[in-house]
Structure 1
Amino acid sequence: MDSATLAPPSAPAGAAPPRRGGRLALLVAGLAVLIVAGSAVHLTQGTSALDALDLLRLVTGQGGDGTAAVVLESRLPRLLAALLVGVALGVGGAVLQSVSRNVMASPDTLAVDAGAHLAIVAVAAFGISLPLLGSAGVAFAGGLGAAALVLALSGTGGAGVVRLVLAGTAIALAMISVTRVLLLLFAQETQGLYAWGSGALGQNGLGGVRTLAPVVGGALVLLLALSRRLDLVYLGDDHARTLGVHVGRVRASAIVLAVLMSAAAVTLAGPIGFVGLAAPALVRLLSAVVPGLHRHAALVPVSAALGVVLLLGADVLMRAVIGAQGALEVPTGVVTTLLGAVFLMLLARNVRVSASAAEPPAAGTRGGVTPTRFRVVLGVLVVATVGVVVGSVLLGDTKLLLGDVVNWVSGQAGPIVTNVMDNRLPRVVAGVLAGAALALAGALIQAVARNPLAEPGIVGVVGGAGLGAVTAITLIPGISFWAQTGFAGIGAAAATVLVFALAARGGFASERLVLIGFAVQAATQALVTLVITLSDPWNETKALTWLGGSTYGRSFTHLVPMALAVLVVVPLLVRARGELDLLSLDDETPRVLGVPVARSRLVLLVCAVLLTAAAVAGVGVIAFVGLVAPHAARALVGRRHARALPVAALLGAILVTVADTVGRTVIAPAQLPAGLMTACVGVPYFVWLLHRSRSR
């Protein structure tokens, strides 16, 4: 069993371990001291020239009206928001972990934050004005829908640690993609919501806290009333049923209340990452030395207190390091996400995992693919690729005919056709190259990691490349494309080295690789937000376009890195196709047959990094191609990589090219990023894969 999976507590729920009260009381007292001390320090931080003595005079009734106004309108609301949000996230995460019996469950990994954020941005984008409680209701609906979908895919039996992270990451990625598109298309209506989307504690007065405090308080009281039933459900469904507990009703009620608290936190301060994961996970680690802490009557309030400590500490630390003025621009959620990502990496390194290989759920043809079938499939895909390329060249805001293309090739086209072709053809070729590169990278990662649900983004390559490119775009005015590509490559390489260095313990087990990759991806996204929020609005739009994945403005010069990467990697893959088949099975078989496992895995991962970094540098961040194309290829021609790799490359090229064509045609002259269109295809397919693999 994974150590990240929540095992039932060793002591029965009704037992009373000796000397339980002393350690628990000491822990509660320590957390209370930290909260009081942190609150006192927090009130002394701000842009106004008020120090601790001024606040002391205000408490004793000697402060002036100016001091009172600053404290009551600015500092106190921010402090109370931190307290309320910390309680909501700490309790929400603890309850979600209990009902799923999974220490990786949280508002982040269950996509609750992403769903709530998308719902609020969508309402703002379409010009709908709602009161604060109405916004909380919208956020609740979005968060509950996301959590229900993720839990339905991952299960609640406690055995799906990696499955939960994969499902939550995929659903959250899709929702984030749609959110970014709304931010781009409705920039005027959603102004300011990008930074808020990473969690900002700044408040305009006490109105928000007064409105949402009863919501959080009421949900907390109801959860405490359910604590005894949650203890029994946590021990096991069968055990709880024999004691008369309606497991489904208790679990559903707990999830609804936990999501309600998370939605209130998102409405008040935006999605603040990892507090809901780290706080209850730390409490569960402490339960090994604090008897009685495993019971929900203690677990829930202690998780709330630790959530406050983490969030308050992050806000105090941020304002101490970058100053109060800088803290007005940098979301607090960036700091919590970075700290939480470090915690998740440390947690993932200690996860005990199984070395058994997973059967790819998309491998519907179990090896029995005839050469004739392979040739037919390959021929059909080649014809389809040519047809898609031709159609993509002809379609767009300006429609062309085949005769126009022939005239352009022969140099006899008019200026309008020439201008359209000079701009459109590089975009089409960019889509083909990027799709093929991402599909090949996905196939390599799935084979080497032996994780059929992995894709380039899960190992941090996409996040690292995106961070490098966005940093170059926003901080270096007029940077050349080659320098920008270099930054993307450096970021991808750094993120990948970090992930695989941390995952090396235990031989690159796929579960550990996924968990650490998820943490690195989250950290890179937080750093991207930090870079964007500190830059000017024009760069924000440009960076958001990049993160959405687009071929807009591509020229043939921009295609050189992708073309070189494909030309370098493909011959290596032709030679390594047999090794890939063996590595995708287990570690022992290739060793027995003389394959140097460590060296082969390293070379193949370097190839995947090179392909992904080149694709991100060329067209930005495009999700799910590295997942969908390899799975579809295995379903068509089986698991042998000599056949699956070329089919996957063609499918990836078709997918990205079609996505880009649709994106620049459906709302022309405006455009939708290709990344959104691939997400629209990729998410349903991914959901189907998870459902199918779970049913097996």
Structure 2
Amino acid sequence: MLAVVLGAVHITQGSADVSPLDLFASLTGAGNDQATAILVASRLPRLMAGVIVGVALGVAGVLLQTVARNILASPDTLAVNAGAYFAVVAFSVFGLSLPLLASGAVAFVGGLAAAALVLALSAGRETGTVRLILAGSAIALALGSATTVLLLLFPERTIGLYAWGQGTIGQNGSTVVSTFGPVIVVGAVLALLFARRFDLLALGDDTASVLGVNVRRAQLIGVLVAIVLSAAAVNVAGPIGFVGLAAPAIARLIAAKVPGMQRHILLIPAAAILGVIVVLGADVLLRLVFGGAAGVEVPTGVVTTIFGAVFLVALALRMRASSEAAGRGLVSSRTVSTRRRITLSGIAAVLLVVVVVASLLLGDTKLLGGDLVNWVTGQSGPIVDFVLGTRAPRVFAAALAGAAFALAGAVVQAVSRNPLAEPAILGVTGGAGLGAVFVITLWPVASFVAVTGGGLIGAVGAAVIVFGLAARGGFANNRLILIGLGVSAAAAAGVSMLIIATDPYNGAKALTWLSGSTYGRTLPQLVPLAIALVFALPVLLSARRELDLLAFDDDTPRVLGIRIAPARLGLLAVSVVLTAAAVAAVGSIGFVGLVAPHAARALVGARHSAVLPLSALLGAILVCVADTLGRTAIAPAQLPAGLLTAVVGAPYFVWLLWRSRR
């Protein structure tokens, strides 16, 4: 009934000035020509798009949750939507024009590859909610970075794809809906035909096998049907976020109180109906709040993502507080001599100096070592002065930001006892991005100080929300990570809304900043970041014992007199300051907080007295190299450093997850 009511309200909304009575009269063939044209060309296709997308994502979410045996599995968390979106954008960049069904096949292949990778990486002896979410988030981030590279390099071939990539059910005619509607219907029917197998599959591999189910075949069928449905939904409306998570999760919560509803023959239709309610409800709410024109400018996926983020946080708060076993990866029995630690740290310091010098010499204008010496001694000419005067702040910004991200990552990994975590999971990076983009888009001539202030306010606001909610469970690891990811998703949706609602120039500027760029930095702008590092590093080194103990387990530090919740809060606050300062200085740069601390731990062991300095050095090296490549690879055009760190960090993360499966 709710879905029908929402459909009736939905069809009356729009930018055209047509009365609801005229529209409903047109349904019976008695309306005027204008109302009939609007109904047939715009309102009905949009309504039908919302219905079939809701059905597709709701059913896909149920199947993926059953196969993964995880209530947080969905087309979003398994990176299906990200893979499908990347595949569609890649084909657009290469100028390949495909029929609609062929385009659907391309999206299917992209989504299948991403989901297969996430499921493979999240399997193993420590399979769990956090591991699945981290694997899916990392793969989605890598695919998102690759997609952003294409959007920035080929803007003329990807016009409109950024907005479409946030998910919008707006349609121009009924061609797309009539093409993919039957595909979604067939997929939903197939899911119902295999409902009994999915019931048995949910009982466990051994039980299902005893009862005559070929487990691997049933899992493969479930994944393939889910990805076909997700790919069709992406082709109809773009990747609409979190519907495939929220709708089936709500259906399962209802089923837990309704006898018999946990059977897939009932659960699948329930999730489909709830998917329709979520999609149409988001679209109706969007246009009720912002007006009919907002349905054209602001994608429906922005609203569903915010709703899904709230739902993810609510699920996290309902979960039993625990410290998942992932933390064992931080504790190493391998002993590393003091001499080896000093030697490796010295080598890293020398390498950083070499990288900084190379970064100063390389760019769209190549310089020689003598030019650099003359510049340092004040004897260079005007050209060298100009080149190095603009290049040096960028190099120093990259080094300082890399060190800050790496230190923050080392702290987050120790406190959460998860070697796969990074600062972005606290929501701080997303909050800082939202604050800065808000300033950039609403105040085009904003100074760097204003943008930095917006980033800092956003970061602090996100940290307050995450820490405030996580405090209810004593900052339990699983709760902290899921709440942080939910806040990050909501912040990303807010950023998308701001970028799409602004003019193209500011949108490109914000998109570049979000990708992590040192462009246009000056030395005075780096002072806050330098101050944060100068104060944070001694504080963290003085807390090295607490970090070592917190990375081990909960019992040991408690026995030794350490108050775990206050210690976690204080250390995470330091990581927030470092992350916020770095994001405000250079934008969002992913994977540095993951790769650098883990590499440092692999080289010098788990003691933070050695891990912290080496992490800072390796982080600085990584971002400096990424920034240099971004300035030289396609000169005079440039790529943001954050996109290149994702190119390096994503394969490393994949290898790390794969190795830890055992």
TM-score range (shorter-chain normalised) is over 0.9
Match of 1:631 among 587, 598, 621: 598
> Does the CA contact (< 8 Å) of 1:78 and 1:203 recur in 2?
yes
**Equivalent-residue separation in structure 2 for 1:536 and 1:71 (angstroms):** 30
Deviates more, 1:157-166 or 1:640-649: 157-166
User: Aligned partner of 2:163: which letter?
Assistant: A
Aligned residue number for residue 145 of structure 1: 113
The match for 1:53 among 7, 11, 21 is: 21
| Aligned partners of 1:101 and 1:157 also within 8 Å | no
Q: Which moved more, 1:207-216 or 1:224-233?
A: 224-233
Which residue number in structure 2 is paired with residue 684 of structure 1? Answer: 651
CA distance in structure 1 between the partners assigned to 2:126 and 2:79 by the alignment: 18
SS of structure 1 residue aligned to 2:8: helix
1:24 equivalent in structure 2: none
1:315 maps to what in 2?
Answer: 283
| Cα distance change of structure 1 residues 248 and 393 upon mapping to structure 2, 3 Å threshold | same
Post-superposition offset of 1:478: 1.3
Name stretches of at least 5 consecutive residues in structure 1 with no aligned partner: 1-32
Q: 1:589-604 maps to which residues of 2 (within 5 A)?
A: 589-604=556-571
Pair 1:396 & 2:363 matched: yes
| C-alpha deviation, 1:451, in angstroms | 2.1
What are the superposed Cα offsets for residues 522-573 of structure 1, whole Å, 9 maximum, x if unpaired?
1000000011111100001101111111111111122111101101111211
Report if aligned partners of 1:118, 1:176 keep a CA contact under 8 Å in 2.
yes
Q: Which residue of 2 aligns with 1:574?
A: 541
Matched ranges for 1:323-472 at <5 A: 323-355=291-323, 358-361=326-329, 366-472=333-439
Q: Structure 2 matches for 1:57-136, cutoff 5 A?
A: 57-136=25-104
- Structure 2 residue runs of 5 or longer lacking an equivalent are none
Residue equivalent to 1:196: 164
TM-superposed deviation, 1:180: 1.1
CA contact (8 A) 1:357 1:585 kept: no
- 1 CA distance for matches of 2:557 and 2:23? 69
Instruction: Determine if contact 2:407/2:616 at 8 Å carries over to the other structure.
Output: yes
- In structure 2, the CA distance between the partners of 1:694 and 1:189, relative to structure 1 (3 Å rule), is same
Q: Per-residue CA shift, 1:37-87, capped at 9, x if unaligned?
A: 111111111112222211232233321111110100010000000001000
Give the one of 576, 594, 605 matched to 2:572.
Answer: 605
Contact 1:362 1:635 (8 Å CA) reproduced: no
Could you say which residue in structure 2 is the equivalent of 1:546?
513
* Residue identity (%): 60
The residue type equivalent to 1:687 in the other structure is V
CA contact (8 A) 2:170 2:295 kept: no
Instruction: Report whether the alignment pairs 1:528 with 2:495.
Output: yes
Counterpart CA distance in 2 for 1:157 and 1:661 is 40
Q: Counterpart in 2 of 1:267?
A: 235
Cα separation, 2, equivalents of 1:374 and 1:156? 32
Offset, 1:314: 0.9
**Aligned with 2:616 (options 637, 649, 668):** 649
Matched, 1:245 2:213: yes
**1:489 & 1:60 partners in 2: Cα distance?**
56
| Maintained 8 Å contact 1:361/1:689 | no
For residues 124 and 50 of structure 2, the distance between their equivalents in structure 1, rounded to whole angstroms, comes to 30
What displacement does 1:592 show? Answer: 2.7
User: For 2:628, which of 651, 661, 667 is the aligned residue?
Assistant: 661
| Native 8 Å contact 2:541 2:608 kept in 1 | no
Instruction: Note if contact 1:114-1:172 (Cα within 8 Å) is conserved in structure 2.
Output: yes
Deviation, structure 1 residue 587: 3.1
Q: Which amino acid aligns with 1:562?
A: L
With normalisation by structure 2, the TM-score equals 0.98
TM-fit CA distance, 1:593 = 2.2
1:244: Cα distance to partner?
A: 2.2
Deviation at 1:464, TM superposition (A): 0.4
TM-score by length of 1: 0.93
The letter for the 2-side match of 1:429 is: F
C-alpha displacement of 1:356? 5.6
**Distance in 2 between residues matched to 1:291 and 1:159, nearest whole Å:** 29
Q: Which amino acid is 2:648 matched to?
A: V
C-alpha contact (below 8 Å) 2:170/2:237 kept by paired residues: yes
Query: Helix, strand or coil: the match of 1:361?
Result: helix
Q: After superposition, what is the alpha-carbon deviation per residue over 1:15-37, rounded to whole angstroms, capped at 9, x for unaligned?
A: xxxxxxxxxxxxxxxxxx11221
Q: How far has the Cα of 1:591 moved from its partner? A: 3.0
Mapped to 2, the partners of 1:514 and 1:52 lie a distance apart of: 46
Contact 1:362-1:689 at 8 Å conserved across structures:
no
2:188 to 220, 224, 231: 220
Does the aligned pair in 2 maintain the 1:659–1:674 contact within 8 Å? yes
- Partners of 2:430 and 2:9 lie apart in 1 by 35
CA distance in 2, matches of 1:202, 1:659: 38
